[in-house]
Amino acid sequence: MDKLPYTGLAKTYNTDRQVPDSAATATAFLSGVKANYGTVGVDQTLPRFQCEGLEQAKVPSIFKWSQDEGKNTGLVTSTRITHATPSVAYAHAGDRYWENDKAATGSCPDIARQLIENEVGKNLKVVLGGGRSYFTPKTLVDPEVNTTFGRRSDGRNLIEEWKQVQQNMSRRAEYVWNKEQFEAVNPQNVDYLLGMFAPVHLDFELDREETMSQPSLKDLTAKALDILKKDNKGYFLMVEGGRIDHAHHDGNAKRSLADGAIFDEAIGYAIDNTDQSDTLIIVTADHSHTFTIGGYPSRGNDLFGFNDYYHPDSNATDNMPYTTLAYANGPGYVLNQTTGMRQDLTNVDTSNKEFLQQTAVPTNSESHGGEDVAVMAHGPMSHLFTGVYEQNYIAHTMAYASCVGANKEHCNSVPTTEAPCKPTGAGHSIKPSLMTVLSCILSISLSQGTKFKGI
């Protein structure tokens, strides 16, 4: 991802918090408005946890804008598909945790229901991730984990309802829940694919590698692209490496970085299997974490090991070793009850995947960070992502680049400047496609013959 030629910085704060959450940040980069902490697909007029006023506060996402122009849409995530970031694609909620009927408040529909009932949700061509227990009744045992049951109290099986909806619309649709079924899917024979490979989230990559029971994020990305780009309608795909965030919350740097590595492989696959002349790829994060690297370690020193630079100014004043990687807060704070000092790590294997990095402040879960996040891009209109800007600018710029939403009219104009992808032919007629990645990849591809106007 760091080889992409255009770079910018996005400001991630929510309208009511200096440090954001993933639901409101997703609302910013997918719907183009800043929102309150913990809210999904609504503007700042709706306070968190409130159901009344939801209808008036709803804001559409770029998934709807793309569908309105006849484009294929899909989402891929390593979290449950009702989680904060993916839910903004198709849902609107006063609280990100209204994921099933047991959690939802008042008359507001839960997020899982909205995937099945909302027009945007039912028209998503690819939905791949985890979270199948949020779609099934509490009396139904999970097909893979026999100690886990569904979470719905209304008795509905939304997976079966999704199948029926697709059948009623005479669509070539398939639902899969394990790796074997997933690998058997032929993209040429399937137009709508729903896959949920765990009751809740997918495994961390280091754990997945041990069992190989779930497809990797790269595998999911490849299948999604094969389905979405097989016709000339164009597409918008979002791929989220959401478990990167979860490992950080656990204070577990090794698992987080491993998930970051497979995320980078997914980006690499997308770069290698799309055309830069018609595909805009954006890589960014929805927010930061309190994760840090410090201590002046030498080049080549074990990243998961101790700082190896010994100097009075950088040595720990308690004369104990400290790791290169650390967090400002989180569950890795361990106090020696006898000495009242931090844990001595001398004989601890800090490279073990279960090790939690030490922190300055003890919290049950490490928090997000509030600094700006990088945005990297290549392809048509990628130059628009340079500089420093509000996070909601991303949604509007994606829409402009892909000729959807309020920005679509410019595509009917004669271009005044050459687009960065250097298209050929009269009127710079090209088929731009956008793939943006946050802890995810988003991908948009426009129909052939679209007129592209530079700015």
pTM for the whole thing? 0.91
Binding-site members for Mg(2+) are 83, 85, 240
CB 148 within 8 A of CB 142: yes
pLDDT at 429 exceeding the cut of 60: no
pLDDT at 386 exceeding the cut of 60: yes
In tens, the pLDDT along 359-378 reads 999 999 999 999 999 999 99
Residue 160: inside a domain: yes
Residue 1: inside a domain: no
Residue 336: inside a domain: no
Least confident of 144-148, 166-170, 275-279, 435-439: 435-439
Residue with tokens 């048509």: 380
CB 52 within 8 A of CB 105: no
Residue 329: inside a domain: no
Specify the CATH number for the domain of residue 236.
3.40.720.10
Beta strands in 197-262 (DSSP E): 235-240
Binding-site members for Zn(2+) are 245, 249, 286-287, 368
Q: What pLDDT does 408 receive?
A: 84
Residue 308: inside a domain: no
In tens, the pLDDT along 272-286 reads 999 999 999 999 999
Residue 206: inside a domain: yes
Domain count, the chain: 1
- Tally the C-alpha atoms within 13 A of residue 401's C-alpha that lie toward its C-beta: 36
Q: What pLDDT does 175 receive?
A: 99
Q: What pLDDT does 426 receive?
A: 29
In tens, the pLDDT along 152-171 reads 999 999 999 999 999 999 99
Phi and psi, residue 316, nearest 5°: -70, 135
Which sequence positions are flagged as catalytic? 22
Binding-site members are 83, 85, 240, 245, 249, 286-287, 368
Pairing of strands 173-176, 6-11: unpaired
Residue 328: inside a domain: no
CB 105 within 8 A of CB 140: no
Query: What contacts 269, CB < 8 A, 6 or more positions away?
Result: 218, 221, 222, 225
Phi and psi, residue 445, nearest 5°: -130, 130
| DSSP summary character for residue 108 | P
What are the C-alpha distances in Å from 343 to residues 217, 296, 297, 331? 36, 21, 21, 13
Residue 407: inside a domain: yes
How would DSSP label each residue in 292-354? EE-S-PPTTS-TTSB-----TTTS-TTS---BSEEEEEETT--B-TTTSSBPP-TTS-TTSTT
In tens, the pLDDT along 65-111 reads 999 999 999 999 999 999 999 999 999 999 999 999 988 888 899 99
Q: Look up the domain containing 202 and give its range.
A: 6-290+368-451
